[in-house]
């Protein structure tokens, strides 16, 4: 084996063992608009780490449907006002096969209620806390609004000075809408959290509504050292065949 290949293997292995992590957040819109009933989300697939649907307005706000054994989705709060729960014709359906026994263990085409806040007097915010550490996570947030404008902001606990905000979404003076956000994030150290703030930034006509249905969370696996050795061995094999 040539010295060049040996050096390449050494660098690659060291890259696996000694990798530093910087905090990062990105937000994208998966879909938006009137989604009922054209879209169904598989929570089992999207929420391999945890998923939760919030339908009950009883305080404290806790999931009514949740992944069995899941963890990572924490507290949900409303900044002020009264939380209600209602059906909507402007949101997607959901399915899953790994629900907790306290709810439905499986469901197909489930049409949940949504939490809603009448923001006639104040511009309110739903805040959801998720686990964070140096692993890459993908979080899906299912929200909506009516006769108002909303904006999603994500803030890591170890990078509090640099929150990331999505472009505001407007439902219009008489309109209603649903938005599914994908938040990709990683913290620079362990035992951190990320807070997702779904905020009403403008109320057009009373009652202006802010809505939230649920979230799904997955840890994205990184290539293992063994996998890196396999890739390197394959590269070495190609090198030998070409010599």
Find the mean pLDDT for residues 220-238: 52
- Please tell me the predicted confidence (pLDDT) of residue 176: 86
pLDDT in tens, 147-189: 889 999 999 998 766 799 999 999 866 688 899 999 999 999 9
Task: Provide the 8-state DSSP code for 189.
Answer: S
Find the mean pLDDT for residues 190-204: 93
Find the mean pLDDT for residues 208-217: 94
H or E stretch covering 7: helix 3-17
The confidence band for 28, taking pLDDT boundaries of 50, 70 and 90, is: very high
pLDDT at 229 over 50: no
Edge-to-edge strands of the sheet including 40-42?
A: 40-42, 93-96, 107-110
Phi, psi of 68, rounded to the nearest 5 degrees? -65, 125
Q: For residue 147, give the nearest of 204, 88, 210 by alpha carbon.
A: 204
Q: Is the preceding peptide bond at 37 cis, omega within 30 degrees of 0?
A: yes
Supply 143's token pair. 């929200």
pLDDT at 242 over 60: no
Supply 103's token pair. 């709810």
Find the mean pLDDT for residues 179-201: 95
pLDDT at 239 over 70: no
Angle at 151 between CA 147 and CA 152, to 5 degrees: 135
The answer to whether the beta carbons of residues 95 and 108 sit under 8 Å apart is yes
Pick the residue with more confidence: 81 or 101?
Answer: 101
Whole-angstrom CA distances from 54 to 14, 63, 191 are: 44, 5, 25
pLDDT in tens, 102-152: 999 999 999 999 999 866 657 899 999 999 999 999 999 999 998 889 999
Was domain 24-222 assigned CATH 2.60.120?
Answer: yes
- Domain range list for the chain: 24-222
Mean pLDDT estimate for the chain: 82
pLDDT at 236 over 50: no
- Please tell me the predicted confidence (pLDDT) of residue 20: 54
Q: For residue 77, give the nearest of 113, 125, 130 by alpha carbon.
A: 125
As a residue count, the chain comes to 243
Place of tokens 């959901």: 94
The answer to whether the beta carbons of residues 150 and 199 sit under 8 Å apart is yes
Whole-angstrom CA distances from 117 to 32, 124, 146, 210 are: 20, 8, 10, 5
CA gap 179, 75 in Å, rounded: 21
Weakest mean pLDDT among 54-63, 84-93, 119-128: 119-128
To the nearest whole percent, how much of the chain has pLDDT over 90? Answer: 58
pLDDT at 43 over 50: yes
pLDDT at 38 over 80: no
Pick the residue with more confidence: 26 or 224?
Answer: 26
């Amino acid at each position: 084996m040539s010295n060049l290949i040996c050096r390449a293997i050494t660098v690659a292995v060291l890259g696996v063992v000694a990798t530093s992590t910087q905090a990062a957040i990105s937000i994208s819109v998966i879909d938006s608009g009137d989604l009922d009933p054209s879209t169904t989300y598989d929570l089992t697939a999207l929420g391999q780490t945890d998923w939760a649907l919030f339908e009950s307005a009883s305080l404290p706000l806790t999931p009514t449907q949740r992944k069995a054994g899941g963890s990572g989705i924490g507290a949900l709060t409303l900044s002020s006002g009264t939380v209600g729960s209602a059906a909507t014709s402007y949101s997607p359906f959901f399915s899953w096969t790994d629900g907790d026994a306290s709810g439905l263990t499986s469901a197909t085409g489930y049409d949940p209620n949504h939490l809603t806040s009448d923001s006639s007097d104040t511009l309110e915010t739903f805040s959801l806390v998720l686990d964070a550490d140096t692993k890459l996570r993908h979080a899906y947030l299912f929200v909506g609004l009516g006769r108002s404008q909303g904006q999603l902001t994500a803030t890591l606990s170890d990078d509090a000075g640099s929150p990331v905000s999505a472009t505001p979404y407007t439902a219009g003076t008489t309109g209603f809408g649903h938005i599914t956000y994908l938040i990709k994030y990683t913290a620079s150290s362990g035992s951190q959290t990320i807070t997702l703030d779904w905020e009403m930034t403008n109320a057009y006509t009373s009652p202006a509504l802010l809505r939230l249905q649920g979230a799904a969370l997955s840890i994205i696996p990184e290539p293992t050292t063994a996998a890196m050795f396999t890739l390197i061995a394959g590269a070495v094999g190609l090198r030998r065949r070409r010599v």
